[in-house]
A = this chain, B = another copy of it.
Amino acid sequence: MKKPKEIYLDYSATTPVREEVLKEALPYFSEKFGNPSSFHSRGLEAKNAIESARKRIAKILNCEAEEIIFCGSGTESINLAIKGIAFRELAKGKRGHFITQKTEHEAVLKTMDWLKRIGFEITYLNVDENGLIDLGELTRSIKEDTLLVSIMYANNEVGTIQPIKEIAEICHKKNTLLHTDACQASEYLDLNVKKLGADLMTLNGSKVYSFKGTGLLYKRKEIEIEALIHGGGQESGARSGTENVPGIVALAKALEIAEWEKKKEAKRITALRDYFIKRVEKEIPKAKLNGHRTKRLPNNVNFSFEGIEGESLILYMNEEGVRLSTGSACSSKSLDPSHVLTAMGIDHGTAHGSIRFSLGKETTKKELDFVIGKLKEKVEFLRRISPVWKKGKGVRKK
């Protein structure tokens, strides 16, 4: 097989900006460059652009335009949702209780950790071996003073999809609010907030073939939050700072395209995903699929290859032009195995050998065939030089 130039299977880390998206946003850099707050035609033009983007997105989310707060990333949106509620209480001299779960993105977990340090109470729910929370445990954890429950829609490492609708029902029955981090879900899953029942929802641009440094928070209009970033009062006071007009226009376009193609693309990608999983499981011994087999993002594959360490495999694959991650992009900075896999009860050794293959709009069967071939070769070599692997027997447990 001819070696392809590059196979990108790290779409969950970030996506290239779509041509149509860039094209729509481009005039807002140097021509229609006004400040939306300026009281002249250039300002009005910019203001109209962001208000129109807001309406287009509101249509996708099935909410009102004013319920969308544009901000600078998925991480900021998450911080705004959680701290926005915490700070509202803080200004009243109060604290309160938050609930989340152990496989959330760092944006949720580190925010909760910090709130804990300044006196809030946090419950981190457990997950089962597939990464799903226990709805009974959730129900029991909600207290009188629970301000917010934050549970992600779909996990970025293992792709597990949480039952947001049921979770929302529990939250509402017990009189609390639900925030959901939908950054990974936006390309393939339903974003209708009315159907989902989420009171707050986070989306970002970098995962939907749009701009890095863009994101939004959907917030039901009855909910009061304190701003995280104070200033000129943009975004109805919830997020000050000159609006990123091209980024906002781009986000609207990207979410629209995602919405139009969602059904078809989810089907195509799911088929590729399942083909890939099936072949790997058949052709590479002791390859363990991490995450839920069906309640899973269409584009996520996550395997642990026993007896080898993930970074080495990623770098060998990179040398063949295949771009992969061990899971959360951030984890490459740390030596600890993925907190997601650990929370799912996967032992450290296996967790160290996990690789995420995240598929995207350019992914083809041919690409995956090439990847599988190389994967077999590299896994075999790394196991050969691995002191913990015994051919035909797998990993020696000591």
Contacts and interface: CB of A to CB of B under 8 A. Distances in A.
Interface in A60-106: 71-76, 78-79, 87, 90-91, 105-106
Contacts of A211: 29, 244, 246
A38 B18 CA distance: 20
A206 interface: yes
Interface in A32-69: 33-35, 37-43
Contact of A73 (B226, B241, B246, B326): B241
A14 interface: yes
Nearest to A324: B40
Interface string A226-267: 111111111000001111111100000000000000000000
A211 B240 CA distance: 16
B75 A231 contact: yes
Interface residues of A, number: 82
A325 B241 contact: no
Contacts of A229: 73, 75-76, 79, 228
Contacts of A39: 311, 314-315, 318, 325-326, 329, 332
A39 B329 CA distance: 7
Contacts of A76: 72, 229, 241
Contacts of A245: 212
Contacts of A42: 6, 8, 10, 323
B14 A34 contact: yes
Contact of A22 (B19, B29, B326): B29
A184 to B, nearest CB: 13
A378 to B, nearest CB: 14
Contacts of A6: 42
Contact of A38 (B41, B230, B332): B332
Contacts of A87: 118
B40 A323 contact: yes
A35 B16 CA distance: 10
Given A22-B30, A105-B231, A325-B38, A73 B16 contact: no
A76 B231 CA distance: 9
Interface string A255-288: 0000000000000000000000000000000000
Interface in A185-211: 204, 206, 211
Interface in A103-124: 105-107, 110-111, 113-114, 117-118
21 contacts: A6-B42, A8-B42, A13-B37, A13-B43, A14-B33, A14-B38, A16-B31, A35-B329, A43-B323, A73-B244, A74-B241, A79-B230, A90-B118, A107-B241, A110-B233, A110-B240, A111-B231, A114-B226, A206-B242, A228-B229, A232-B328
